[in-house]
Amino acid sequence: MADWLYGSPEKMNPNRLEKGQVLILFVLGLSALLGIIGLAIDGAHVLADRRQAQNTVDAAALSAAIARTYNQNYRDAAVNEIKKNGYSLGTDSLVEVNRPPSDGPYSCNTRPDCSTFIQVKLTTTINTFFASVVGVNTLTNQVSAVAQALKSTQEPFYGGSAVIALSPTTCQALDFSSNGHTLIDNSGVFDNSNCDNKQENNPQKAFYSVGNGDVETQYIKVVGGAYFDPKQFNLDVPLVTGAFQLPDIKDAYTLPSPMCGGAGGVDPQNPSVATPGYFPDFPPDGVTSMEPGIYCVDSLKIHNHLVGGNILFVLSGGVRMNHNAYISLKGRTQGEFKGLLMYMLPSHDQQITIDGNIASEIQGLILAPRSQVTIAGTGKAGKFIGQIIGDTVVFSGNNDIFIKYDETAVYWPYTNPRVELVH
């Protein structure tokens, strides 16, 4: 009776036993499959959250940087941007705003300008739906972004190098072909060109020197390659190649915008004295001195003596200073354009040639960002006080060249405020 009611191992149907085992395996397999599907679904949810979180911290870092440039509370700006994107800060969403960054390539461990960078970190916790079946109740995302905030400041162009060749690609952008002694005092030289034919003896490089003269200065920094004889150079530090390339001058600075009030002329009481204004050619015949002011000039050719102080030439054409002329020109000493002597408009590509004699005096900034500037002589040491910025710069001729950099004697532009997402 018992055997009939319950069955015995010997009398049970083997097919029924196999079906039971398959059912158990099916249930176990189904559970594993559901767990895998759950992990996949929850994983996709986490990835979607990570994308949203990264976009959010990118926007938050930029908002913080913008606020910083306007002297506003950059921390509040970052937090508000994160909340605006749907994150209610608390146990499930944590935000961290650091200036300077607490870690990474823009921290103070690696960057001397680390205080210009703002780091935003966001940690989010996502509750799982299906993965909890296998004991995974939450998943976490951690994302970060770094933005740079540069305020507008007034400072010398590009850190105050005495001579700067701005061209980003021209070979031989900075050319020392002078046969005399060149002294650049109290500063150095920067060549922004990345030209670099890798062959050691190929002269197609950014920096080029073949003159028989010698060069003495604090430093020479070159973005690209350099072709020169080290024996001709007396530097405080070895010549540097591979320097970081400078940003375009229009992007980095607010350029000056001097205006001339009307036509220039001569003093009726003294026809040897020019008065400020516009001139197609300068100086007029017989003019040997200048009243203080701004002179807008299409062509500047100085063949005879010319003296002027507290002046500014705004140029749209070429410049030629003759070696036989006594020249004493000093830039603006006050006001908005203090320290600016010559400004070749960036829309013009013209030749500027300075060939001063032993009696010449020049003081101030010569700014010609798209033009070639050639220096063939400056006279005695201490008589050329200023800064030269051109697209390319050439030192030539047989005369000695002396340039002394004095930041109090040159024009200081305002930098453009800049905000950039860097990481």
| pLDDT 10s digits, 270-293 | 999 999 999 999 999 999 999 999
Mean pLDDT of 4-24: 51
pLDDT band at 5 (very low <50, low <70, confident <90, very high): very low
pLDDT at 324: 81
| Residue in this structure with the two tokens 């603006």, named with its chain if needed | 332
What value does the mean pLDDT of the chain take? 88
Q: Are 290 and 305 in contact (CB under 8 A)?
A: no
Check pLDDT > 70 for residue 33.
no
256 within 8 A of 411, measured Cβ to Cβ: yes
- Position 318 scores a pLDDT of 95
What is the four-CA torsion angle of 72, 73, 76, 77, rounded to 10 degrees? 30
- Provide CB contacts within 8 A for 61, sequence distance 6+: 78, 118, 119, 120, 145, 146, 147, 421
Is it the case that residue 382 has pLDDT exceeding 80?
no
State yes or no: pLDDT of 1 exceeds 50: no
Residues 6+ apart with CB under 8 A from 208: 171, 172, 174, 175, 176, 177, 226, 227, 228
* Amino acid, single-letter form, for residue 210: V
Confidence (pLDDT) at 276: 97
Over residues 204-227, the mean pLDDT reads 94
In the chain, pLDDT over 70 holds for what percent of residues?
88
* Rounded-to-integer distance, Cα 346 and Cα 343, Å: 9
Mean pLDDT of 140-144: 92
**Greater model confidence, 37 or 423:** 423
For residues 310-315, average pLDDT: 98
Q: 368 or 33, which is more confident?
A: 368
Predicted local confidence at residue 27, as pLDDT: 54
What's the average model confidence in pLDDT over 245-263?
92
- Range name among 185-189, 193-197, 402-406, 415-419 with the lowest pLDDT average: 415-419
pLDDT at 357 over 80: no
pLDDT given at position 198: 84
Residue 31 has pLDDT above 80, yes or no: no
Cα–Cα dist 11/278, whole Å: 121
10 Å CB burial of residue 236 (0-12, 13-18, 19+) is exposed
For residue 7, what pLDDT is reported? Answer: 44
Is residue 6 very low, low, confident or very high in pLDDT (cuts 50, 70, 90)?
A: very low
pLDDT(32) > 70: no
Query: Which range has the worst mean pLDDT, 41-55, 126-140, 304-318, 383-397?
Result: 126-140
Average pLDDT for residues 252-259, to the nearest whole number? 93
Whether residue 20 is predicted with pLDDT greater than 70 in this model: the reply is no
22: left (phi over 0), alpha (psi -120 to 50) or beta: alpha
Q: Whole-angstrom Cα distance, residue 423 to residue 360?
A: 51
**What is the Cβ-side half-sphere exposure of residue 127, based on CA atoms within 13 angstroms?**
3
Work out the number of other CB atoms within 10 angstroms of the CB of residue 337.
20
Token couple for 44: 């996709």
> 284 φ, ψ to 5°?
-65, 160
Q: Which pLDDT tens digit goes with each residue over 128-138?
A: 766 665 666 77
Considering 185-189, 250-254, 416-420, the range whose residues carry the highest mean pLDDT is 185-189
Q: Do 99 and 116 form a contact (C-beta atoms < 8 A)? A: no
In this predicted structure, the answer to whether residue 168 has a pLDDT above a threshold of 90 is yes
- C-alpha span between 169 and 75 (Å, rounded): 40
pLDDT at residue 388, as a whole number: 97
> How many residues are there in the chain?
423
Of 127 and 256, which is predicted with more confidence?
256
pLDDT reported for residue 44: 77
Crossing angle for the helix pair 74-84 and 14-69, nearest 10 degrees? 140
Residue 310 — very low, low, confident or very high, per pLDDT cuts 50/70/90? very high
**Using CA atoms, how far apart are residues 365 and 314, in angstroms rounded to an integer?**
12
